[in-house]
Amino acid sequence: MTLTCTSCGTPHFPHEIQTVCSQCGQPLRADYFFSPEQLDPTEHLEDHPTLWRYQAFLPSITRNFRISLGEGQTPLLERIFKGVRIYFKDESSNPTGSFKDRGMCVALTMARALGIQKIALPSAGNAAVSASAYALAGNLRCRVFLPTGIPDNLAQEVSDNGAEVVLAGSTIAEAGQRMAAAMDDSWFDVSTLKEPYRVEGKKTLGLEIAEQLGWAFPDYVIYPTGGGTGLLGIWKAFKELRRLGWVNQDLPEMIAVQTNGCAPVVAAFNNHLAETSPWLNPKTRALGLNVPSPLGGRWMLSVLGESRGAALAVAEDEIDAARVRLNKVAGSQAGPEAAVAWRGLELLVERGLIGEGKRAVVLITGDDRRYS
């Protein structure tokens, strides 16, 4: 495995602690040298009921470093909606109730393997709960910077996990600025895409979806987009599966859905730009999507383009009703971020852009426990 800059291509050495590209500051991507013997799926998956089943697609590390709380292997629920075959990937059964556990599991495992002892991040909520739980399990110190408006039960959960909580600013972006000013280099920053392995953890979502579909791809993936790690990880999984020949179908169209309260990716996509510009005055009830200036903007836009996908924004005032409809159709207890993805799917079907007989995976990225 090697680490390559997603923008300028500069290689970085994976056996050392790496953050972003030393030349241009953009995220690094893990690239694997798969061997020709890896052609048979059945021989290369671990019989393990967690995301470590896909160890063959992850950086190789000694097993002792692995942290696991039982993440991954979540259900893929099939429904028919207006003639479209919908697959809900319901991530709410992860240990801390969201898909963030996949990324934190692999990132904190790698941090441990590289000798890191202290991690820090700003978070809109779910990532902090997840990071604190994995830090506790992995015996790492953890400090999180949370916006002041976050629900009390969430900050409590983080501190119950033994993490230090700093309340700072009104958005994750402001909390991140406070963190940058306050922290010295002894703390490792596990913010979205500031290290390369959260994406690798999220990649297991794509591997799992393909396996659950019988080593096949859907036609579309509908993703509620904030920092973008899931979108990037799922796409990366599909490309690796194609390269290995485990799936020999056309790659799906990746669809990023945001809300009109914070839609930097949609704005850049619609204007055919290669980079996002900061979204001014972001405000959304889908807290996980309140990312006004995503570090992975450039990478996401290249994936949307390469997959011939799309990006669309749904209205803030439609989210609550969409959540009720989603939970009825899927039988889930999804939070508002997933409702954004569902509203996006409804609009695409209404507009005839996703037609009858097509197969669309909709991400239910997290549960509603912090919102109820």
Ligand X SMILES: Cc1ncc(COP(=O)(O)O)c(C=O)c1O
Residue closer to Zn ion by CB (options 8, 274) is 8
Nearer residue to Zn ion within complex by CB, 8 or 180: 8
- Residue 365 binds ligand X, judged by CB under 6 A: yes
d(C-alpha 313, C-alpha 353), whole Å? 15
Of residues 196 and 227, the one with the C-beta less far from ligand X: 227
Candidate residues 14, 18, 21, 334; the one interacting with Zn ion per rule CB under 5 A: 21
Tell me if 23 contacts Zn ion by CB under 5 A: yes
Nearest to 209 by CA among 231, 190, 237, 242: 237
Using only the alpha carbons of the chain, give its radius of gyration: 19
Contact with ligand X (CB under 6 A) among 14, 27, 196, 224? 224
In the bound state with ligand X, the residue whose beta carbon lies nearer, of 244 and 319, is: 319
**Choices 6-14, 54-62, 111-119, 121-129 (CB under 6 A): range interacting with ligand X:** 121-129
Among 27, 138, 147, 226, binds ligand X (CB under 6 A): 226
Q: Does 297 bind ligand X (CB under 6 A)?
A: no
Tell me phi and psi for residue 235, to 5 degrees.
-60, -40
270 to 265, 266, 304, 311: CA distances (angstroms): 9, 6, 11, 8
CA distances from 336 to 84, 184, 262 (A): 22, 35, 14
Q: Work out which of 229, 258, 276, 327 binds ligand X, going by CB under 6 A.
A: 229
230 binds ligand X (CB under 6 A): yes
Residue 127 contacts ligand X per CB under 6 A: yes
d(CA 64, CA 246): 29
Question: Which is closer to Zn ion, CB of 298 or CB of 370?
Answer: 298
C-alpha distances (whole Å) from 30 to each of 197, 322, 372 are 8, 36, 38
Per rule CB under 5 A, is residue 8 in the interface with Zn ion? yes
How far CA 19 is from CA of 147, 156, 188, in Å, comes to 24, 29, 9
Indicate which single residue of 96, 98, 276, 307 sits in contact with ligand X (rule: CB under 6 A): 98
Does residue 170 belong to the site contacting Zn ion (CB under 5 A)? no
Give me the sign of the Cα torsion angle 269, 272, 276, 282.
negative
Q: Is 9 exposed, middle or buried (0-12, 13-18, 19+ CB in 10 A)?
A: exposed
Residues that bind ligand X (CB under 6 A): 98, 100, 124, 126-127, 192, 224-230, 288-289, 335, 337, 365-366
